[in-house]
Amino acid sequence: MSSLYLLIPLGLLFCAIAAAFLVYASHSQQFKDLDAAARSVLDDNE
Amino acid sequence: MNAAPPLGEHSVLLKVDGMHCVNCVRKLERTLAAAGATADINLVGGTAELRWRDAQRRVQQFVELIAEAGFTAQPLQQVEADQPTDTPEPAGSASLLRIGIAGILGMQVMMLAATAYFVAPGDIPLPLQQLIRQAQWWLATPVLLYAGWPFLAGAWTALHMRTLTMDVTVSAALLLAYLASAVATMGGSGQVYFDSVTMFVFLLLLARHFEERGRAAATRRLHELAAAQPRDAQREQADGRLATVPIAQLASGEVVVVPPGIAVPADGELLDSAAECDEALLTGESRPVMHCAGDSLCAGAINVGRAPLRLRLTRVGADSTLSQLTRLVHRAQSQRPRTLRLADRIAGQVLAAVLLLSVAGAALWWQAGPDHALAVALAVLAVTCPCALSLATPTALAAAASGLARRGILVVDADALLRLARVDRVCLDKTGTLTDGRMSIVELVRCSSVEASEALALGAALERGVHHPLALAFAPYDDGRPVSDVRVLPGRGPQGRVGNACLQLASSEGEGELSWLTLSRDGEALARFGLAQNLRPDAASAVALLKQQGLQPSLLSGDSAAAVSPLAARLGIRRWHARQSPADKLERLRELHAAGHRVWMVGDGLNDAPVLAGADVSTSLASASALSQARADLLLLNDRLDGLGLLLRQARRCRAVVVQNLLWAALYNLIAVPLALAGLVTPWVASLGMGISSLVVVANALRLALPPVQGPRSDLEETLA
């Protein structure tokens, strides 16, 4: 059970990293238009 | 097409973001009323139409006031100008980021909290137990303060405005749970609810995200209409060259060129001999429509031919048909149907009852088991869902209107759909509604040796250039032979010379429904022409369909009995009234109302305007006079009568969905609240139930956004009909 003293802080660290990636993805406009990629398949001028 | 505001009154249509429930609407209404403006607010469409009299007031002042109340507003025309071709994105990046943060951190909190569910209290050493609690606290803090910020900010502004909104109960539950858990963590004893806090925020954000997507889907047709107009146009210069100009710079009388695949920028008259256009957005007609020189084209129609088309503009900018339709739809969506006000009142009362119940529940449990008192109060606050109640009707109405728009039917008054579902009589106008207003020659009686084709050509030569419906019936037989000295004698028809002979075409007496004209040469009768009004090709099937759907049709016409009776017989209409003035038609309507009937009036002419206004529900055709359209609750944009059957079916489906949604909302709350009070629902499960309840209502309503088709009625529709 003593391993939990290490695993819980590690879990918090991974959580923070995941949240940071999410913030980065959001700031780089990756969630701006979620339908654009799907629509581009139907676009014949590409 | 729509009524202008009264003299001295100013109005503006605003796009408002941040409204989530009926109490938000009420808060906004109160804010604006305090500033001297009345507002028609549409929760589903996210719009507010403001009217005020104070000339000193500026739109920007109202926008700032709305911002102070916790919402964001912008004039709708500005929104459309900024994003002319995109359907608005219902959930921005910030909203998705909040959901993501709440999801990731909330998941971790749930994993840590699971230890408390599955391990006996004494099995975990106290320092480890304390570490687990503190880890949950650290994770729950950004979830509450960042992801849950919209609820906290909404609650703060609501309390500041002294109103009660959904955000107040949500924030009360969140803060209560968070603070109690924080105190327990610091003290090292007592229960913690960080898992409930994070799950509540996550599920509520998720539910609102899908709810907003659903609302956007329900009003998508409106934005498609607004986006149909291109931003630029190719204007033909005096030297014949083309210049690309913004559509705001176009003027009536100018000539524009529309390349293939591009939408017509403004209403105009076709200059080319032929053009093929896709008018699906305006009329619901899925096939391209052929036009010839001189035909009117509406803004928004797309040139689907192979060559560019040339157009002389007749109405530009705000005067174009598309702009008028868009304004009409915006106005329709801003008007708050009467049926919604009842649901709003009930939802507001439910919210007040929830707060009282949670306090009462906590007080009762404090006596029986103090450990559970807080959990019960939180569960009651979280599980109750007045959102479902206030969304039940508006989402269904918006989705039904969107579905009808795809079939070329415009809902001007959303409330009319619910009224239409209950009508049992339909009154139809004849000329221009069941007939297309034109005439054709259906009988020819020769009175001399002259050939039929010769008689028709002579009649056509005399009627050349005359625009009366009787004269236009001869146009197809015109072979271009010269005619001179043409004069139209009042009450006797045209007279002129062809060669050396003097010809005359005069009306004459005849039997039956036909109008008769006699062609004579030098006083000797050559032939008699029997003319009849053109029945619309889908008139008979439309009437049959309405009868099949349980309505009793009546025919009201200003024409003579001789003209009305045979037409009624052909259409299978037993009740008909001829020689009806507008006052007579209103009288017939009163008789039907007095007999307890609910009446649907379908008409098109100027003389139909009073009776359209007096009927329970009214429908007009796109070709109708502007006054009739202004009085109508529903418009058939494609002039096709088979739309009447679809309209009735959609109205009945809409009513069925509204009843289902209200029943669901009532049933959910009736079951969930007692369970929460009994302590059988944990707070995070309660928040899951609340989110699902809202989504069920929205998802059920979205079925109506599909274009309606004719088919058998469901059992519920039958019962409600």
Q: Report the side by side order of strands in the sheet with B599-603.
A: B409-411, B634-636, B617-621, B599-603, B425-429, B552-556, B575-577
pLDDT digits (tens, 9 = 90+) for B398-443: 788 888 887 888 887 778 888 899 999 999 988 778 887 678 888 8
Tell me the chain A residues in contact with residue B101 when contact means C-beta distances shorter than 8 Å.
Answer: 19, 22-23
Residue B64 has pLDDT above 50, yes or no: yes
Q: Cβ neighbours of residue B546 under 8 Å, at least 6 residues apart?
A: B426, B553, B644, B645, B648
In angstroms, the separation between the Cα of residue A17 and the nearest Cα of chain B is 10
Residue B93 has pLDDT above 60, yes or no: yes
Tokens 């995070």 belong to B684
- Band of the pLDDT at B166, cuts 50, 70, 90? confident
Max mean pLDDT among A35-39, B251-255, B278-282, B433-437 falls in B251-255
Q: Give me the interface pTM, i.e. the ipTM.
A: 0.87
Q: Cβ neighbours of residue B341 under 8 Å, at least 6 residues apart?
A: none
Tell me the chain A residues in contact with residue B89 when contact means C-beta distances shorter than 8 Å.
Answer: 32-34
Type of residue at B161:
M
Q: Cβ neighbours of residue B19 under 8 Å, at least 6 residues apart?
A: B25, B28, B41, B43, B46, B71
- Band of the pLDDT at B344, cuts 50, 70, 90? low
Q: Which has more pLDDT, B491 or B533?
A: B533
Tell me the chain B residues in contact with residue A34 when contact means C-beta distances shorter than 8 Å.
Answer: 89
Type of residue at B77:
Q
Among A1, A4, A12, the residue with its CB nearest the CB of B138 is A12
pLDDT digits (tens, 9 = 90+) for B652-680: 999 999 889 888 888 888 888 889 888 88
DSSP state of B408: T
The chain A residues in contact with chain B (CB within 8 A) are 1, 4-5, 8-9, 11-12, 15, 18-19, 22-23, 26, 29, 31-34
Closest listed residue to residue B221, CA positions, set B278, B299, B284, B265: B284
Among B104, B125, B132, the residue with its CB nearest the CB of A19 is B104
pLDDT digits (tens, 9 = 90+) for B588-642: 888 998 999 999 999 876 667 778 878 889 898 876 655 556 667 888 887 788 8
Q: Which has more pLDDT, B292 or B140?
A: B140
Contact A11 B135 (CB under 8 A): yes
In chain B the first and final C-alpha atoms are separated, in Å, by 32
Identify the residue among A10, A14, A22 best suited for mutation to test binding to B, counting B beta carbons within 10 A and taking the highest. A22
Q: Which has more pLDDT, B658 or B210?
A: B658
Contact B97 A26 (CB under 8 A): yes
3-state secondary structure of B336: coil
Contact B108 A11 (CB under 8 A): yes
Among A8, A29, A31, the residue with its CB nearest the CB of B135 is A8
In angstroms, the separation between the Cα of residue A20 and the nearest Cα of chain B is 9
pLDDT for B1 equals 38
Query: How far is Cα B618 from Cα B628, in angstroms, rounded to an integer?
Result: 9
Type of residue at B458:
L
pTM for this entry? 0.63
Q: Where are the alpha helices (DSSP H) in B146-299?
A: 149-160, 166-187, 194-218, 220-227, 280-283
Among A15, A18, A22, the residue with its CB nearest the CB of B97 is A22
In angstroms, the separation between the Cα of residue A15 and the nearest Cα of chain B is 7
pLDDT digits (tens, 9 = 90+) for B550-590: 999 999 887 778 778 888 888 889 999 988 877 788 888 88
In angstroms, the separation between the Cα of residue B106 and the nearest Cα of chain A is 10
Contact A22 B104 (CB under 8 A): yes
Among B100, B104, B131, the residue with its CB nearest the CB of A8 is B131
pLDDT for B336 equals 54
The DSSP code sequence of B192-223 is: --HHHHHHHHHHHHHHHHHHHHHHHHHTHHHH
Whether B530 contacts B449, CB under 8 Å: no
Closest listed residue to residue B380, CA positions, set B347, B402, B358: B358
Q: Taking CA atoms, what residue in A is nearest to B100?
A: A22
